[in-house]
Chains A and B, each alone.
Chain A
Amino acid sequence: MEAKATKTKVRNKIRKESPGERVFDVFNVIFLLALSICMIYPLWHVICASFSNPMRIARTAAPIIFPMNADGGLGFTVAAYKQMWTHPLIIPAYINSIGIVVVGTTLNIIMTSLCAYVLSRQNVMLKKPFTLFVMFTMFFSGGMIPTYIVNTQIFHLDDSYLALILPGAISVYNMIIMRTNFESIPVSLDEAARLDGAGHMRILFQIVLPLSKAIIAVMILYYAVGHWNSWFQASLYIRTPEKKPLQLLLREILIQNDTSAMSSSTSGTAAGQADQAEIGETLKYATIIFATVPILIVYPFLQKHFTKGVMVGAVKG
């Protein structure tokens, strides 16, 4: 920080900025700020709408800047969230998703670090063929249908969470990031441990992994966000409604417009149906926030780490 500040001072001494450049700087800042607002506005709109009066939202097409009451003034209601709570599947789906994230990510980390460790060792015969064996899967795969058939007909993973956890246990791309990191650990540490009679198991768990906490944090984030956000695999394999993860249920509620499972005291009459349609809209907003809250909570704390993986990948790639 300090170095940068002095650098700027030196720069300013050498040459004064021309008026054109200053105008550019001002416009650049304004443009980028406007762009950032555009980027996060959709989410803000949804947050405000979810706390607004449903009838009001249904009648407003203008951008929403704050939660509104029935008259369009500032108002705050959790009606949509209460309504969402009555959906019989939403809590189970939430719990299912959390379970998949926890178990799936644990498996991901174990398998990925095993693979990365083996590929990061020097002086091992079979390293070349093994690397080829792993890398090949990055460029060629069975494709959607053969994979589906093999998983359901041979491994019988139909309607099982294993179908969501096992097939993607190692992402080769993430594995390469991890391997690069493992390779940067000084070989001398490794050699010293070997002289002391430590096996590879001990080196991995007591030397390599503790020294790679930062990259493991990044990997946990990547995999966990991946599991939390995934819906397609579940749509292929999960049949039982109670077993559905959150994103799959969300697709039904949000994309296929199926809010019928949520109870409504006013249904029956024509006016009641119109009411329900309006509440249905706000419900969508509430479910979006409900599903995105974990990421929004985690994000500020971890944003520093999120980019790290890309950087490591960039150094390599």
Chain B
Amino acid sequence: MNTKKTFGQRLGRDMKMNWSLYMLMIPVVVYFIMFCYMPMYGIVMAFQDYSIFKGFSGSEWVGFEHFIKFFQSPRFGELLLNTIRISAACLAFGFPAPVVLALLLNEIKSAKLGKVIQNCTYIPHFISLVVACSIIKIFTAETGVIGSFYNMITGSEAGNMLNNKNNFLPIYVISNIWQECGWGSIIYLAALSGIDQSLYEAAEVDGAGKWRKVISITLPSILPTVIIMLIMRMGQILSVGYEKILLLGNDATSEVSDVLSVYNYEVGIKQSRYSYSSAIGLFNTLVNLLFVQAANWISRKVNGYALW
């Protein structure tokens, strides 16, 4: 290799040699510029008083006005708290569920039975959110299977369970577990199937029982996977999606179900306050980015393993 050639010369040679590859690259580059980088450029509207008639170039610049307005508004703390509350509840209950499911599935002796159970638990993952939320609403309604039972037990006369804001969080978290727990267990099952079977045999020769084997072999073997998943999950603490809340929430629950992304949607799409909502969205994106980076950094320190 001739190192004396300039970068331009080398690039030219590479392009000549691999011209067909660069041709294949073109549509991909165009796609990313149009649909990923253009919207990023669109973020400038968070610093403008954007008007669709004036466009990005004609709108007036206002600096950080929208951010300051948002941070000072009483909604800010409320939204942040709701977001963290929902996220933390999903983390506390939703995160361990697939790990436990995978461990229990691993103890099933019959491979066939295990497969059947696994497949049953995957199905809810593929049901669309609209359908899943409507099933949740039907079940928790006054006349629904869960709703009527709930009303009978608690003596509540509020009708549908979702009319009571205190029920929102449990319903949200449990239905999340219903939909995602089976699917989430796949990654742990993969880790479990990677464990060297001779370890178990050696332990058995030494007289280890089931509990001993689980504690001394199984748990330590999947711990790295669990930690990585946990850290990555922590990185998403402020990214609670809006789709499910838009479908499930109502006026009665908005006090607890209004999270940053939902408010962003309400302000931006429903009220057409584009610049203000862009500022909220940018704030949310940046905080998420910060958390993910921090999570990755911690992962590298703890595990010596990072995603990038």
Contact = CB atoms under 8 A, between A and B. Distances in A.
B11 A137 contact: no
A146 interface: yes
A1 interface: yes
Given A21-B209, A155-B34, A310-B187, A201 B24 contact: yes
B289 interface: yes
Contacts of B104: 28, 31-32
Contacts of A195: none
A33 interface: yes
A142 B108 contact: no
Contacts of A37: 120
B21 A124 contact: yes
B204 interface: yes
Given A130-B25, A135-B308, 12 more contacts: A14-B201, A61-B148, A114-B25, A118-B28, A130-B29, A133-B29, A144-B265, A145-B268, A146-B45, A255-B130, A306-B126, A310-B187
B247 A15 contact: no
Nearest to A59: B143
9 contacts: A15-B204, A25-B109, A28-B107, A40-B120, A125-B14, A137-B37, A142-B42, A149-B42, A149-B52
Given A32-B108, A144-B264, A200-B20, A40 B45 contact: no
Contacts of B27: 111, 114
Interface of B: 10-11, 14, 18, 20-21, 23-25, 27-29, 31-32, 34-43, 45-46, 50, 52, 55, 101, 104-105, 107-109, 111, 113, 116-117, 119-124, 126-131, 133-135, 137-139, 143-145, 147-149, 178, 182-183, 186-187, 190-191, 197, 200-201, 204-205, 207, 209-210, 228, 242-243, 246-247, 261, 264-265, 268-269, 274, 277-278, 281-282, 284-285, 289, 292, 307-308
Interface in A5-53: 7-8, 10-11, 14-15, 17-18, 21, 24-25, 28-29, 31-33, 35-40, 42-43, 45-46
Nearest to B178: A39
Interface of A: 1, 4, 7-8, 10-11, 14-15, 17-18, 21, 24-25, 28-29, 31-33, 35-40, 42-43, 45-46, 58, 60-63, 111, 114-115, 117-118, 121, 124-126, 130, 133-135, 137, 139-151, 153-155, 166-170, 199-201, 204, 225, 228-232, 236, 247, 250-251, 254-255, 281, 284-285, 288, 291-292, 295, 299, 303, 306-307, 310-311, 314, 317
B294 to A, nearest CB: 13
Contacts of A24: 107, 210
Nearest to A142: B39
Contacts, number: 262
A124 B264 contact: no
B11 A143 contact: no
B24 A170 contact: no
Contacts of A317: 228, 307
Contacts of B186: 307, 310-311, 314
Contacts of A250: 128, 130-131, 134
Given A21-B210, A126-B14, A145-B274, A167 B35 contact: yes
Given A40-B120, A299-B123, A310-B187, A140 B130 contact: no
B43 A143 contact: yes
B39 A147 contact: yes
A277 B24 CA distance: 56
B28 A39 contact: no
Contact of B108 (A29, A143, A281): A29
A67 to B, nearest CB: 16
**Secondary structure type dominating chain B contacts:** helix
A14 B35 contact: no
B32 A306 contact: no
A140 B134 CA distance: 32
Top 4 nearest A-B pairs (CB, nearest first) are A142-B39, A146-B42, A143-B281, A229-B128
Contacts of B205: 14
Contacts of B28: 111, 114-115, 118, 134, 170
Contacts of B50: 149
Given A114-B28, A124-B21, A126-B11, A32 B209 contact: no
Contacts of B148: 61
Given A42-B135, A145-B264, A36 B121 contact: yes
A114 B24 contact: yes
Contacts of A17: 210
A56 to B, nearest CB: 12
B128 to A, nearest CB: 4
A11 B113 contact: no
Contacts of A144: 261, 264-265, 268-269, 277, 281
B127 A295 contact: yes
A297 to B, nearest CB: 12
A155 B42 CA distance: 12
